């Protein structure tokens, strides 16, 4: 019998709040995190806005000596981890540290550090590059730093599946607990890639919205007039435990990790498969893994990027899996407010899905104004909605054809 897995702690840093409480309140208020870019001079770019994290001070949080050794994505991940651990009440010591693991995803890792140090090398020579460049740049920098900070000696790794990284990280961490490799996993993802080269690359792919005159209304998933996603940054972290471990220490269980599915389209490096075929298989696998049927899902937190292709294909995939039931299931995209956190998006959306269960409330899809005939589901338009939700599905899809789906369930 596989072990049951539960969530006991949540943490996040997002463009609409630097912790879970602030983020959740912003989502229910329909507040967008999009604004003109402050991280660099974007005046020459087609898109000059993004959903940046605001007011985050790594030096104040970690001290100058530690902060200078961590890329921004690692700082985000560490801050979210400390929040999640605090909520969980978990104490890590010699008695349990070998059974506590860390799995942190990131689509790109420490790109800010790489760019900064490349400039140092060009201007001052190779000998002046920071000795911290490599550990700050590599994608496992967050996982390694977190393990050192909290003393976790269990399984430790990073995972990169583009914009599915956060969902895959949580799913794979849960599977480690299910098979007995760990009792506790710190799992999630972090991203900090609002840099000139990344914005330029996304622009030439025509992936980003160019509504420079109205950034807060730019992300409009499933709306007929959507024109691309809004780049975001941040981190989402959850504390996963085996049910028996959580019960043995009297933990407050937030919800149960019920199901996980993951596939690849094997179709195109950046475009989704026709009619979301691979995404549909991922959703079906998650339902099967959870032992649930199509009538059990009461809310879907969509990948919902606000691009023409994604929103059309995800809608088609949902209808393929759920049939006529699809029209009865509320579906919303919180990327309409947070922007697209790339590799971290699925992790923060797992946090949001858990909050929907705990608060009996569905966050809205804001900026939904003009229905699209090919996107004809209930997208919880513009206002949050009270609803008792026992089972939440969360989807993430990434370049490379990666698909990942989680199902979270009310603890009973």
45, 245, 303, 402: the active-site residue: 303
Nearest Cα to 363, choosing from 338, 397, 400, 399? 338
Buried/exposed code over 101-122 (b: 16+ C-beta within 10 A; e: otherwise) = bbbbbbbbbbbbbbbbbeeeee
Could you tell me the two tokens for 6? 């539960």
Hey, how many other C-beta atoms are within 10 angstroms of the C-beta on 98? 12
344/278 Cα distance (integer angstroms): 21
Buried/exposed code over 124-155 (b: 16+ C-beta within 10 A; e: otherwise) = eeeeeebebbebbbbbbbbbbbbbebbebebb
Give catalytic status of residue 255 as yes or no: no
Give catalytic status of residue 268 as yes or no: no
242/2 Cα distance (integer angstroms): 10
12, 163, 255, 375: the active-site residue: 163
45, 340, 391, 402: the active-site residue: 340
Give catalytic status of residue 402 as yes or no: no
Task: Name residue, tokens 């995800």.
Answer: 314
What residues form DSSP beta bridges with 365?
381
128/133 Cα distance (integer angstroms): 11
289/282 Cα distance (integer angstroms): 10
Separation in Å, CA 214 to CA 132, 160, 181, 363: 39, 32, 49, 22
Backbone angles phi, psi at 17, to 5 degrees: 170, 145
Nearest Cα to 57, choosing from 67, 47, 71? 67
Q: Do 248 and 184 contact (CB within 8 A), yes or no?
A: no
DSSP string, 25-81: HHHHTT----EE--SS--TTSS--EEB---S--HHHHH-HHHHTTS-HHHHHHHHHH
Active site residue ranges: 163, 303, 340
């Amino acid at each position: 019998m596989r072990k049951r897995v539960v969530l006991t702690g949540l943490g996040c840093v997002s463009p609409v709040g630097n912790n879970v409480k602030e983020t959740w309140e912003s989502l229910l208020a329909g507040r967008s995190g999009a604004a003109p870019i402050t991280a660099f001079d974007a005046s020459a770019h087609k898109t000059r806005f993004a959903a940046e994290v605001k007011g985050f001070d790594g030096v104040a949080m970690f001290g100058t000596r530690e902060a200078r050794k961590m890329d921004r994505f690692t700082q985000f991940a560490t801050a979210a981890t400390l929040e999640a651990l605090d909520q969980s009440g978990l104490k890590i010591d010699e008695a349990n540290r070998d059974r506590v693991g860390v799995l942190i995803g990131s689509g790109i890792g420490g790109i800010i550090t790489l760019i900064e140090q490349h400039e140092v090398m060009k201007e001052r020579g190779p000998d002046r590059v920071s000795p911290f460049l490599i550990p700050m740049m590599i994608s496992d920098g967050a996982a390694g730093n977190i393990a050192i900070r909290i003393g976790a000696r269990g399984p430790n790794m990073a995972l990169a599946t583009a914009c599915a990284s956060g969902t895959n990280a949580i799913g794979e961490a849960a599977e480690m607990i299910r098979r007995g490799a760990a009792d506790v996993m710190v799992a999630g993802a972090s991203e900090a890639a609002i840099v000139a080269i990344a914005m330029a690359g996304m622009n030439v792919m025509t992936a980003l919205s160019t509504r420079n005159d109205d950034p807060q209304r730019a992300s409009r998933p499933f709306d007929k007039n959507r024109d691309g996603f809004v780049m975001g940054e941040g981190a989402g972290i959850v504390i996963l435990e085996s049910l028996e471990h959580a019960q043995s220490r009297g933990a407050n269980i937030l919800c149960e990790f019920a199901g996980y599915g993951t596939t690849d389209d094997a179709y195109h490096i950046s475009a989704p498969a026709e009619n979301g075929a691979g995404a549909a298989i991922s959703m079906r696998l998650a339902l099967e893994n959870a032992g649930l049927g199509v009538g059990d899902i009461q809310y879907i937190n969509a990948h919902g990027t606000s691009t023409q292709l994604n929103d059309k294909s995800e809608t088609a995939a949902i209808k393929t899996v759920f049939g006529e039931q699809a029209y009865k299931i509320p579906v919303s995209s919180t990327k309409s407010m947070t922007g697209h956190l790339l590799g971290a998006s699925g992790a923060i959306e797992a946090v949001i899905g858990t909050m929907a269960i705990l608060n009996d409330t569905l966050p809205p899809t804001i900026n939904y104004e003009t229905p699209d005939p090919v996107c004809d589901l209930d997208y919880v338009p513009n206002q949050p909605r009270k609803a008792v939700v026992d089972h939440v599905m969360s989807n993430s899809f990434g370049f490379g054809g990666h698909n990942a789906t989680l199902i979270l369930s009310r603890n009973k």
